[in-house]
Amino acid sequence: MFFFRLFFCCCRQGNSGEETWTTRKETNKTIENTSGKGRSNLQKETESRGSTKIVTTPTRTTVSPVTIFPTRELLERNREKAQAHTNSEKEWEDVKFLGVGVFGYVRLLRNVKTEEFLAFKEVKCKPTTFPSEELIESIIHSQLDHENVIRLFFWRKVGQTLFMYLEYANGGSLGDLKEALAEHDALRYFEQLREGVDFLHSRGVVHRDIKPDNLLLTEDEVLKIADLGLCSIFVWRGVEVPQRGFVGTQNYMAPEIFTGRSYRGPPVDMWACGVVLFNMLTAGLPWRRAISNDNNYVLWVHRKKKIFSRKLWNTIEGLSSLSLLKRLLAVDPSERDSNWLQLPRQENTHQ
């Protein structure tokens, strides 16, 4: 029974006012094509072109998937951290409210002795399954340790409520930005997003809800991928498994999700990264809505030649950004995937 929950997704609604589509039913049918072309190739070719360092790298490493099982080791490690927090509970003060998701709120905690901060997220678990989807999300998230992914330090479950103790990002989110970013800044954030997404994929995790509201920032302008509530595992015993269902936030969902058939995991995140990049460059979207009666969307998805029908495209001046967008928003997921591996890398200036 537990295996059928492997490709779970949590039924949640986004809090951005946009429609978030989710489904519960998933399948564990495997596909033959693991599409692992070039993934183990870590060879880096670094070129210096003038002052800009470009690194052309097939970036994805061999997938070493996280476990979704609450192993003794994971639970023990979590228990120790949760216990240490409980022991120092009096040192933590509740500073302020940070935001609210569909299943609970997020608050900021500060340690009066050490000046450390924690984001404290409360989630009401659905009582229907054991372990609950929220607990599996925590088990997956606690194994993801990367600079561009919000860390989950530990969790506590009390009755039907799950308390998550997360790394605090103190600079808002990309969703708060009201104006277009300069190309240089957009590409810098994009590079960090790509690092984070690459890392998730290297651990066999597909996020499925990449969008500006889920991309938090620190005051040092480091981008952190947050909210793994819709994430899914796409590798099982070394074999890539398909995803199913309408999952994500509509305007960031890749066209194959709308077909009703199964689809590959990673290219769905790559498409969403393309929409996020467009959003950073223009403060808008390539179409009003990803829906069949939106002319811009239909032209993009159903015409082979890319038509920059929306005026916003004209505001993107950089040819490299335009070409990047065309490659990320390739309608054919396999094209998107191979493009992703060949994207030139910008040096990450925050490091």
- For position 177 contacting ligand AMP by CB under 6 A, the verdict is no
Out of 98, 177, 298, 341, name the contact with ligand AMP by CB under 6 A: 98
Considering all CA atoms of the chain, what is the largest pairwise distance in Å, rounded to the nearest integer?
Answer: 62
Q: Where are the alpha helices (DSSP H) in the chain?
A: 72-87, 133-141, 183-202, 266-282, 295-302, 319-328, 333-342
Among 193, 216, 223, 241, binds ligand AMP (CB under 6 A): 216
Q: What's the min distance (Å) between Cβ of 62 and ligand AMP?
A: 29
Compute the least distance from the CB of residue 269 to ligand AMP, in Å: 17
Minimum distance from residue 102 beta carbon to ligand AMP (Å)? 7
Q: Which stretch binds ligand AMP (CB under 6 A): 100-108, 204-212, 273-281, 296-304?
A: 100-108
Which segments of the chain are extended strands (E)?
20-21, 45-49, 52-56, 92-100, 105-111, 117-124, 152-158, 161-166, 205-206, 215-217, 223-225, 232-233, 235-236, 239-240, 248-249, 344-346
* End-to-end Cα spacing for the chain: 44
Size of the site for ligand AMP (CB under 6 A): 17
Q: Which of residues 101-140 bind ligand AMP (CB under 6 A)?
A: 101, 106, 119
Catalytic residue among 209, 213, 227, 269: 209
- Return contacts of 33-36, CB within 8 angstroms, 24+ apart: 33/240, 34/238, 34/239, 34/240, 35/240, 35/264, 35/334, 35/337, 36/62, 36/63, 36/240
Is 15 or 250 the residue whose CB approaches ligand AMP more closely?
15
Q: Does 281 bind ligand AMP (CB under 6 A)?
A: no
| 168 lies in the binding site for ligand AMP (CB under 6 A) | yes
Among 66, 125, 162, 166, binds ligand AMP (CB under 6 A): 166
Tell me which stretch binds ligand AMP (CB under 6 A): 45-53, 94-102, 193-201, 294-302: 94-102
DSSP state letter for 244: -
Question: Is 99 among the residues that bind ligand AMP (CB under 6 A)?
Answer: yes
Does the active-site annotation cover 220?
A: no
One-character DSSP codes across 176-206: G--SPPPHHHHHHHHHHHHHHHHHHHHTTEE
Catalytic residues: 209
Give contact residues for ligand AMP (rule: CB under 6 A).
Answer: 15, 98-101, 106, 119, 150, 166-169, 173, 213, 216, 226-227
